[in-house]
Structure 1
Amino acid sequence: MKNKSLSNIFKGDKVIWMVFFFLCIISIIEVYSASSSLSYTGGNYWSPIIYHCSILVVGIALMVVVLNIKCRYFKLITPIVLGMSILMLIWVLVAGQSTNGASRWISFAGIQFQPSELGKGALVLAIAQILSAMQTEHGADRKAFKYIMWLSGGIILLILGENLSTAMLIGLTVVLMMFVGRVPFNQLGRLIGFIVLLGVFVLSMVMLVGDDKKAEDELSAKQNLTEQTVAAQQEESPGFIGKILHRADTWKARVKKFFSNEYVAPKDYDLDKDAQVAHANIAIASSDVVGKGPGNSNERDFLSQAFSDFIYAIIIEEGGIEGAI
């Protein structure tokens, strides 16, 4: 009877649920390990792990609620959520709040959030319904491809200027959904070819237009800005075209840094400018393949985002190659 009641609560694929709970357990261990020293120093031992577990509990509760909502209600709400997403994405493009050089945030009723997150969910729901409604014996109707392209193209273009990585992930998700939804291979092939050509063109334009030196200077300057200076800079509007192209400098700097093979001696490394990257590299290099073991990280004391943005470096330091995999 107990197993039956659990099955009614945790509906869906049992293997996916097992993988999900396994990853939750791993995340709890790693977050506690990555934050333990800083928590001990601050005297608040349990704060990071309690916060993390609270987020997991809320997430699991929301997953159970969503799983028990009938599909017809999703069909009703999708057009509303999709319309809201498009309006918010236009809003953030025109009047978004800037964080680290990217205007991705808007505030509503005192809550700050990224509209791209809402747009991702709405787009996945809409594409799933298109593919479901237009299935035939031989796969998806050829017209489904056109509808998906118009819908996803508009949303991805609105996100692209401010959040390139999110736009790329959404694009990949759309292609995979069409593959699973049995969209004809010749249509998918042409789309992939177009994406490759577009990627080459965009990369060429970024390398041609972007100023990587300017991006590096701005990054260094931000560390010394006062609140008044930041507020004054945010009041300066670069205009609509400027909002679209202003990330080119950052993109070019990242591309050049990724492909750079220039050796920098430890004594010449600028720890004030690249402290996070430096300590993340130290964590990885000092793992000695097999890792130092859970709870034995040294670099967690030097990485300010050790239990969030840079937790992967801590996982490698403690778990080695096996932990990374």
Structure 2
Amino acid sequence: MSNTIGNLFKGDKGIWMVFFFLCIVSIVEVYSASTMLTYKGGSYIAPILKHIFLLGLGLTAMVVTANINCGYFKVLTPFMLFGAILLLAVVFFIGSATNGAQRWINIGPIQFQPSEIAKGALILSTAQILSSLQTEKGADPRAFRYILWASAGIIPLIMSENLSTAALLSAVILMMMFIGRVPMKQIGKLLGTVVILGAFMLSMIMVFGHAEENPKADKQNLTELVQKENKEKKEKTIMGSVFHRFDTWKGRIEKFLDGKELTPKDVDLDDDAQESYAKVAIATSNVVGKGPGNSDQCDFISQAFSDFIYAIIIEEMGIEGAFGVAMLYIILLFRTGRIASRCESSFPAFLAMGLALLLVTQALFNMMVAVGLAPVTGQPLPLISRGGTSTITNCIYIGVILSISRSAKRKQELVVEPMPQSSDASESSPISTITNTDNASKTDNAGE
């Protein structure tokens, strides 16, 4: 029985332990934070059952992926890249909108977010480009150009509706180029260009965006506002579909940059509900937390089970629980780094590190938003927040890392073994020999 389970759950045991701990935290906290869904659906158990079902699908997809030889991922690169660009183009024109953002495609009862697939496709493409153009002195200068071409087909389409996802993905690609030894001169030019374009983009947002006004201020004109909104939707053009998110972005930037301290009576819990109640949740944790299932603020945070679940974790589990969750992601990154360092081929090493950086960067950013260190965005906490496409795709990404830890050929290591000395040998002149050992023939896992 144990051999059967071992054959099923292959790969680095440390990664598996991190995954299962994250799933346990996810089930407990999503159940606690799903008050709003419970109220809407009229069932306490339905939201968590759906979440467990999605985690089960993700686990199944992860096990299947982990049992695929990592060499086959190279074959998927062109298909993944072309498919991701096609899906992003489709969602750009006919995607369905939720909370003011047009990011989803509906196929019957199934709703999925193409940007989650596109992130993995771009990382896969970048890993293959870097590995194919590696030289003894680093990456060939052509790799930089090819990565930019691949990114140009993905990132702008994501950015039109999800600026934070595009920014995080760009940061991950930049870190991959640094790890892949792309010439620093090229990286420096890219950073300079990004700063200039970022300043231009920020100025465009601040000039053309209109911060959302307090809806309570003009309730008597609600009918007129609805009619105006419907008219704007009818007159919406392609350019309008690109810039309509400026209002939301400007409002979030202004709130984040507004450093003035508000007195309790000046806080608008209707306009700033998420941020305000998240701060209340953290402040009332009393360091040690209230205990699992005892959150009070989850009743007031609309995305408590998703974007702000880390605030609920702090409220219920205290500082120690929050630190423990953060450490799980750090352990994931370091275990993946160890796996990558043992790969003989550069492609699986780059791919594993890219996916780990993607998960950890998103997790850290979500935590920063929850504690007020970054502007509010729609980034869920990977493998913990309640989600559909994101939950399953993140499980697949973990499965790819496990596949690499299991099937990637490992480097030959030099082992120094002392030669047995004869009885008349001088003790002052030790003799040793160097023998090559091929770790790929061992049965233990690459990450262990």
The alignment's TM-score, normalised by the length of structure 2, stands at: 0.63
Match of 2:191 in 1: 192
Match of 1:119 in 2: 118
Match of 1:178 in 2: 177
Match of 2:76 in 1: 77
Contact 2:37 2:47 in 1 (8 A): no
Contact 1:290 1:322 in 2 (8 A): yes
- Distance, in Å, in 2 between the alignment partners of 1:115 and 1:300 is 29
Contact 2:161 2:245 in 1 (8 A): yes
Residues 40-84 of structure 1 deviation map (CA, whole Å, 9 limit, x = unaligned): 998844333333222222111101111222345433332223222
Match of 1:93 in 2: 92
Contact 1:98 1:234 in 2 (8 A): no
Alignment length (residue pairs): 320
Aligned partner of 1:317: which letter?
A: E
- Distance, in Å, in 1 between the alignment partners of 2:5 and 2:164 is 38
Q: 1:303 aligns with which of 290, 298, 301?
A: 301
The offset of 1:37, in angstroms, is 11
Report the CA distance shift for 1:218/1:137 in structure 2 as closer, same or farther (over 3 A).
farther
- Distance, in Å, in 2 between the alignment partners of 1:84 and 1:117 is 12
Match of 1:256 in 2: 254
Match of 1:140 in 2: 139
The offset of 1:249, in angstroms, is 1.8
Question: Within 5 Å, which residues of 2 pair with 1:167-316?
Answer: 167-212=166-211, 215-216=212-213, 232=230, 235-316=233-314
Residues 252-274 of structure 1 deviation map (CA, whole Å, 9 limit, x = unaligned): 11111011133433334333333
Residues 162-188 of structure 1 deviation map (CA, whole Å, 9 limit, x = unaligned): 110110111012112222223233322
Mind listing any 5+ residue stretches in structure 2 that lack a counterpart?
Answer: 324-448
Kindly indicate which of the two structures has a greater share of residues assigned to helix. 1
Mind listing any 5+ residue stretches in structure 1 that lack a counterpart?
Answer: none
Q: Secondary structure at the match of 2:260?
A: coil
Residues 116-137 of structure 1 deviation map (CA, whole Å, 9 limit, x = unaligned): 1221121122112212222222
Farther off after superposition, 299-308 or 80-89 = 299-308
Q: Secondary structure at the match of 1:306?
A: coil
Match of 2:376 in 1: none
Contact 1:130 1:148 in 2 (8 A): yes
Q: Secondary structure at the match of 1:57?
A: helix
- Distance, in Å, in 2 between the alignment partners of 1:201 and 1:231 is 28
Match of 1:149 in 2: 148
* Identity level (%): 55
Question: Greater relative contact order (Cα 8 A, min sep 6): structure 1 or 2?
Answer: 2
Aligned partner of 1:170: which letter?
A: L
Match of 2:23 in 1: 24
Aligned partner of 2:213: which letter?
A: E
- Distance, in Å, in 2 between the alignment partners of 1:100 and 1:83 is 28
Report the CA distance shift for 1:178/1:79 in structure 2 as closer, same or farther (over 3 A).
same
Contact 1:283 1:313 in 2 (8 A): yes
- Distance, in Å, in 2 between the alignment partners of 1:72 and 1:203 is 42
Q: Secondary structure at the match of 2:153?
A: helix
Residues 286-311 of structure 1 deviation map (CA, whole Å, 9 limit, x = unaligned): 12233223333222233344333332
Contact 1:220 1:273 in 2 (8 A): no
Contact 1:38 1:301 in 2 (8 A): no
- Distance, in Å, in 2 between the alignment partners of 1:235 and 1:46 is 38
Residues 12-65 of structure 1 deviation map (CA, whole Å, 9 limit, x = unaligned): 332222222221222222223334898699884433333322222211110111
- Distance, in Å, in 1 between the alignment partners of 2:233 and 2:253 is 29
Higher Rg: 2
Contact 2:209 2:250 in 1 (8 A): yes
Aligned partner of 1:180: which letter?
A: I
